[in-house]
A = this chain, B = another copy of it.
Amino acid sequence: MLAPVPHLTTALAGPLLQLEQSLLDRVVDIESWLRARWRETPAPFYCSVDLRNAGFKLAPVDTNLFPAGFNNLNPAFDALCVQAIQIAVERACPTAKGVLLVPENHTRNRFYLENVAALQNLIRQAGFNVRIGSLLPDLREPQTIKLDSGRELVLEPLRRDEDQVGVEGFTPCAVLLNNDLSGGVPPILEGLDQPVLPPLALGWHNRLKSQHFGLYREVAAEFGKLLGIDPWLVDPLFRNCGQINFMKREGEECLAMNVELLLEDIRAKYKEYGVREEPFVIVKADAGTYGMGVMTVRSVADMQNLNRDARKKMAATKEGKEVTGAIIQEGVYTYETWGPDRATAEPVVYMIDHHVVGGFYRVHGGRSNQENLNAPGASFQPLAFEEACNHPDLSCGPHDHPNRFYAYGVVARLALLAAAREVARSKAAP
């Protein structure tokens, strides 16, 4: 039998152990600090955060405000999700009886459809009517899809009536987006008088990773100050370039310069902490999603030697949108492995409102610990967390499972806080 939790294989657990010990020693201060922050900027409806655990560092690398993957969570924590959904809806729309769920148009992605079904089921169990309003342009009538899990999904055409959307005979109080709006806000969703969760402005048409990680940098600095630790232990360094066109080879100098500078910064940090690994960076679309346009780079030469295929891959993101800006992010090794084959694993933590409700590992035998595990075609195996991640076990040590998971929950909430500040900023914007 496999161990129930991925193995953390690293000789360099020193700084992280110190971080985890700080988290344990300071649980009350951390939780109280976070509670104060949620009063300043309430958390978005839901969020998932991809983390990478390098042993010497534990950091978020991607924050998704329209999380898929609810089907990958441990059913043992359904009750926790249900409770958190009740709290989140109570806050957003206290009188709501119904929720309209607007998913992505990926009708051929069975995994994604399972996610929609799982999410619908959780919201239903929380005591709400929930129906699915699809943006599929050629959907004229309800379509029932039978899923491998045995669940059935009914997609209905989204309809607009004055300033409200709904489906036939159902115009609920709240609209829940599970669509990241990569292609822009569809006109049917513009100017609604129903609350839309999360707000439309947080779609990928408008959101920039560099803005998120800029806000995250501030959060990490405040958190580092609270705990008296180097924020770098939870914060991936990054730089960004505004105008890039991979196919036309525009903006390459900016990219090369920033890769160089970032690698230098990482090298300095590795030296400071005695990390003997080779630094690497991840280059990705600043506004992209779904792991398209993601590249691991170890040197400027790597950048310059890109062939046409690689350029093409980088140039397009989801829904064919052209990459115009890029973020160059410190690559964080993942030192968690799963099973006898030591498949690479990275944790994904789920939150509803400001409550951590679990997560899963992406396990990928075919990818190294320096690569993105969420690329298209790179079908990872999901491994549900056996812990809810929302509380420590003070009777065991910092590396014991419940506490490693609690550390994930804390760092994921730091990313959630950065996202909450994005929401606040988008509301303040004209």
A contact residues vs B (CB 8 Å cutoff): 27-32, 35-36, 39, 76-80, 82-84, 86-87, 90, 94-98, 121, 124-129, 355, 387-388, 390-394
Partner of A129, one of B28, B36, B86, B94: B28
Partner of A125, one of B39, B94, B128, B394: B394
Partner of A391, one of B82, B90, B96: B82
**Can you add 7 more A-B contacts, CB < 8 Å, to A28-B127, A79-B391, A121-B394?**
A29-B97, A77-B79, A79-B388, A79-B390, A82-B390, A82-B391, A125-B393
- Note all chain B residues with C-beta closer than 8 A to A29: 97
By beta carbon, the residue of chain B nearest A388 is B79
- Note all chain B residues with C-beta closer than 8 A to A77: 79
Partner of A95, one of B36, B79, B83, B390: B36
- Note all chain B residues with C-beta closer than 8 A to A94: 35, 39
**Assembly CA distance A84 to B357 (angstroms):** 12
- Note all chain B residues with C-beta closer than 8 A to A129: 28
25 pairs, CB–CB < 8 Å, chain A vs chain B: A27-B127, A28-B97, A28-B98, A29-B97, A30-B127, A31-B86, A31-B126, A31-B127, A35-B95, A35-B127, A77-B79, A78-B391, A79-B80, A79-B387, A79-B390, A82-B390, A83-B83, A83-B84, A87-B87, A121-B394, A125-B391, A125-B392, A125-B394, A126-B391, A127-B391
**Assembly CA distance A15 to B129 (angstroms):** 26
**Assembly CA distance A78 to B39 (angstroms):** 25
Q: Are B78 and A80 in contact, CB atoms less than 8 angstroms apart?
A: no
Q: Are A127 and B32 in contact, CB atoms less than 8 angstroms apart?
A: yes
How many protomers of this protein does the assembly include? 2
- Note all chain B residues with C-beta closer than 8 A to A391: 78-79, 82, 125-127
The 5 closest A-B pairs by CB, nearest first: A31-B127, A79-B388, A125-B391, A82-B391, A32-B97
Q: Are A86 and B394 in contact, CB atoms less than 8 angstroms apart?
A: no
CB distance from A97 to the nearest CB of B (A): 5
CB distance from A150 to the nearest CB of B (A): 9
CB distance from A334 to the nearest CB of B (A): 25
- Note all chain B residues with C-beta closer than 8 A to A95: 32, 35-36
By beta carbon, the residue of chain B nearest A79 is B388
**Assembly CA distance A96 to B341 (angstroms):** 47
**Assembly CA distance A32 to B93 (angstroms):** 11
**Assembly CA distance A301 to B24 (angstroms):** 63
**Assembly CA distance A185 to B96 (angstroms):** 41
- Note all chain B residues with C-beta closer than 8 A to A35: 86, 90, 94-95, 127
